[in-house]
Structure 1
Amino acid sequence: MRILVATKPIDFRCGHDGLASLVQSVLKEDPFSGTVFVFRSKRADRLKILVWDGTGLVMSYKRLEDHGFVWPPIRDGVMRLNQVQFEALFAGLDWRKVRSLAMVRPEVAE
């Protein structure tokens, strides 16, 4: 699963169509590709997720009550997260401390 985080905060009044338009015009990506797009609020305590599931655009919204999400530095563009990092971000954890295990490809099947 491809997961892209928009690093600049967005206007949280945007709905499905507004986010899809941002994906196309600002991020230069295809909102109907099945990629998961994550957007942040200015206060860093809310996020929106946009994904095409094959039948329509799905938008999710989450607000943390006691603290904010850990976000990458604000700059133009996107940042890619793996699934484990995304799950940590969504849970309100510091995704930067999550590392995937290094796997060595076997040379022969056992």
Structure 2
Amino acid sequence: MADEVVIALTPRLRVWVAAEPANFRCGIDGLARRVRQVLAEDPFSGALFVFRNRRHTAVKLLVYDGQGFWLCQKRLSQGRFRCWPRELPGQVLAPHALAVLLSGGDYAAAGGMPPWRVLA
């Protein structure tokens, strides 16, 4: 029986979604470089970085778990990811919005509760 690994979409997880398409011939190193150069973020931060291909038919997820990088890819059998953040260079999404985005839905319409903040 194979071991299963799950990337937990907890409320504290920072999810960065790159607005511009990425070259999917890039592996971990190429996408980590893109995180540094385009998103101006640290790929070792533990945040989840999401990229799409030019045709909107596939996404790649890159995350560092403290020991190494995970690179996951989802390619649609048919159709395209219709709703994608357009803010350049990228946008931070709530984890529940990422789940909607990866299901092909409209992440902006996902709503959800606003983050709770302590009032002074």
Report the TM-score when normalising by structure 2.
Answer: 0.80
The equivalent position to 1:77 in structure 2, one of 89, 94, 99, is 89
Identical columns (%)? 41
Deviation at 1:84, TM superposition (A): 0.7
Aligned pairs for 1:11-50 within 5 A: 11-50=23-62
Contact 1:64 1:92 in 2 (8 A): no
| Alpha-carbon separation, structure 1, partners of 2:17 and 2:31 | 13
Q: Deviations over 1:13-43 (max 9, x none)?
A: 0000110111112211100000000001100
Matched pairs, number: 106
Letter in 2 for 1:67: G
Name the SS of the counterpart of 1:32 in structure 2. Answer: coil
Structure 1 stretches of 4+ with a deviation exceeding 2 A read: 101-105
Report the TM-score when normalising by structure 1.
Answer: 0.87
Deviation at 1:102, TM superposition (A): 4.9
Name the SS of the counterpart of 2:60 in structure 1. Answer: strand
Question: Gaps (5+ residues) in structure 1?
Answer: none
